Chains A and B, each alone.
Chain A
């Protein structure tokens, strides 16, 4: 076996006395695509940040090409040939493609000015290696996320990178873009670049990775060739459970009992908004989960935004609990008993510097205060209850929420809405970017509230989640609700068919 490019062993790291890594190790061979998997909070990000010089390790050893190294800053890491493509892109959207590719390494003319001709040539060459052709002088931000990501990869590849770290590279890509990305990854691998690939989408790993390291609770618990393992084994390793037990339990926790639905709570008729929602017909009953399915841009999120008072309603009627209402602001919606867990946790969910406690009670504050003063004793009691009930892993309730893992942040936000005891809970991709364990927990929390009579409107791009979880699925195309599928009986094939089929097909007309 060749000498490993990277060998990290016995790595430990603690934050404020709380261990994040207890005994982590990672070995990457030259020219290998290596997957790193684990639940949120398992220590993947911490390990990567130690590798890229963002954090200093407390203990353990890092060997780079067989020699011990101590990377003190991201600059050091870049110096030895480690580059990172983050989930959130770190390029400059206002500047051109060329400028972004050569940023910080601009070719110079003898007297110091930037040689733009050479810069363009370099950018063109970098992109052509991956078979991409772009207008080099257009602002990078005018291209779709997928292209921006490829430019970021191209930039990294052009800088003599030995190890490229990709953190959730496919979370914002559609299927075809994922294929392009995989092509690029294979091309990089052929040139001898190693890749560390972090993803929650386990299926992808089997397509593109060679080896895999599994982490749990700050430790490396398994390392194997991808060919020698299965998806179920990976999940079992991440959760620390027995594979057979999981096989028996099914893969989602949303399967609900079909009989216990109550009166109609929310009814939309011909609802349209000033933002891409054209005609929404929708009915959600108490104790029922209604799924919203459709392609990206079909108006799923826009439907939720209109109901919640975020987008201006321009036509149609909305009835809540049998009465026609006008909802103009989120506060109106909240007062009507509606809660909305948004898709983008970072941008629309957490207040990063505030504590878990303050984040969890943000929507509840008016009910927690008298004469404008917050009843902190009651607040602490409520928060304590939710931390226990939702299994939120936090040092204590006064820890800033930004220090929590993604899955735990999501649980806090779910708690923010459940604390209001809503009659309708709108969930927009509630388990995206969340690890398998937290996902099952979140799904079972939702199922419990549905049993108690809460209505749920579930937006999800995961067919499995919709098919197993929803009583009914409303399919959207182009801002219109085109058909409604009733469970049981929906299969992945029938759902895909409904999403893709043009609405004027007489065989698929809405069965209501």
Chain B
């Protein structure tokens, strides 16, 4: 034990975290994930043709970015001891709104303003969805799974009403850049996901909000007694998660140059929870492994890619993903017991 402690403590110190011994067990988990990822990449280098091409990287990054962004918010919600089922529906709402705004007569007359509004307004609407979720959970004491089920069901309905249930296609190169643009050779949404990961990780580690988040999830009564504004922390967390979902919805629509309210963000809540769990989040709350979540999303993505690129049928990838989750949960359980 002691040897591993000092090793892992130093190992992660290099990645820019405080070399605090208490993180060592989380780090062991984290390093395990890194090792698994490295092994998977190595396997692909040997097996998969053209794996090292920049195009392969770009495809994977562009596919994983939305899951990663949503999973970041999900990890925060899970850290409070809750869960957010509405993220996929919120993606659909945001994705439906954007083309309506820049495609409107006003939006076409003022392309610059229209574009800005088509990004900001859907994000604000998404945030309001989160405020709604958070208020139900905090003020009415509704179980998170039920509270967010409301928007899970109604959100997608709203999006379909907004678009009359039709597939909306559009051509707006500035907006589409969100999903198809490249910066330094890689998809822009990959940079967004990476940037948000760094920001959220810093927020969790360095800010009073981060500390409150972990204490509310770790022991809500004790946190309240120590003066923690529990309701505010929870509402803010659900708002962040929904805003991230809104952003992912915009990216999804931009990738396809089309908004399909029935499809955007479909089943995203489950992918996000899976990424968070593989990354080391505990559904009982009190832990927010942000870098782990990013790696969890990447890992699940890469497993799927590996199988498909090597001719394994689509259906099999679901089974493998399920197996990964089982392993992740098992590791988490055994870690807790020792």
Asked if A348 CB lies within 8 Å of chain B CBs, one says yes
Asked if B228 CB lies within 8 Å of chain A CBs, one says yes
Docked-complex contact A354 and B214, CB < 8 angstroms: yes
Q: B residues 180-233 with Cβ under 8 Å of A?
A: 206-209, 211-212, 214-215, 218-219, 221-229
Distance from B16 Cβ to chain A, minimum over Cβ atoms (Å): 15
Distance from B202 Cβ to chain A, minimum over Cβ atoms (Å): 9
Docked-complex contact A351 and B208, CB < 8 angstroms: no
Residues in B whose Cβ lies below 8 Å from that of A17 = 1-2, 5
Residues in B whose Cβ lies below 8 Å from that of A14 = 1
Distance from B261 Cβ to chain A, minimum over Cβ atoms (Å): 37
Give B338's nearest chain A residue, CB to CB.
A55
Cα of A416 to Cα of B212 in the assembled complex, Å: 15
- Known contacts A17-B5, A330-B227; A350 and B211 CB within 8 A of each other: no
Docked-complex contact A358 and B214, CB < 8 angstroms: yes
Q: B residues 215-259 with Cβ under 8 Å of A?
A: 215, 218-219, 221-229
Q: What string of 1s and 0s marks CB contacts (under 8 Å) between A396-428 and chain B? A: 101110000000000000001000000000000
Q: A residues 79-95 with Cβ under 8 Å of B?
A: none
- Known contacts A358-B214, A372-B208, A374-B208; A398 and B20 CB within 8 A of each other: yes
Give the contacting residue for A342; candidates B20, B208, B214, B225; CB below 8 A.
B225
Docked-complex contact A369 and B208, CB < 8 angstroms: yes
Q: B residues 1-51 with Cβ under 8 Å of A?
A: 1-2, 5, 18, 20-23
Docked-complex contact B218 and A351, CB < 8 angstroms: yes
Q: A residues 12-27 with Cβ under 8 Å of B?
A: 14-17
Residues in B whose Cβ lies below 8 Å from that of A180 = none
Distance from B306 Cβ to chain A, minimum over Cβ atoms (Å): 34
Distance from B2 Cβ to chain A, minimum over Cβ atoms (Å): 3
Docked-complex contact A330 and B207, CB < 8 angstroms: no
Q: What string of 1s and 0s marks CB contacts (under 8 Å) between A63-80 and chain B? A: 000000000000000000
Docked-complex contact A362 and B215, CB < 8 angstroms: yes
- Known contacts A354-B214, A372-B209; A363 and B5 CB within 8 A of each other: no
Q: What string of 1s and 0s marks CB contacts (under 8 Å) between A214-234 and chain B? A: 000000000000000000000
Asked if B286 CB lies within 8 Å of chain A CBs, one says yes
Asked if B156 CB lies within 8 Å of chain A CBs, one says no
Give the contacting residue for A340; candidates B208, B221, B225, B228; CB below 8 A.
B225
28 pairs across A/B with beta carbons < 8 Å?
A: A17-B1, A17-B2, A308-B225, A329-B227, A330-B227, A331-B229, A347-B221, A350-B219, A351-B215, A351-B218, A351-B286, A352-B286, A353-B218, A355-B20, A355-B22, A358-B214, A362-B226, A363-B227, A366-B208, A369-B207, A373-B208, A374-B206, A374-B211, A376-B206, A396-B21, A396-B22, A398-B22, A416-B226
Query: Nearest 5 A-B pairs (CB), nearest first?
Result: A17-B2, A398-B22, A351-B218, A363-B226, A331-B227
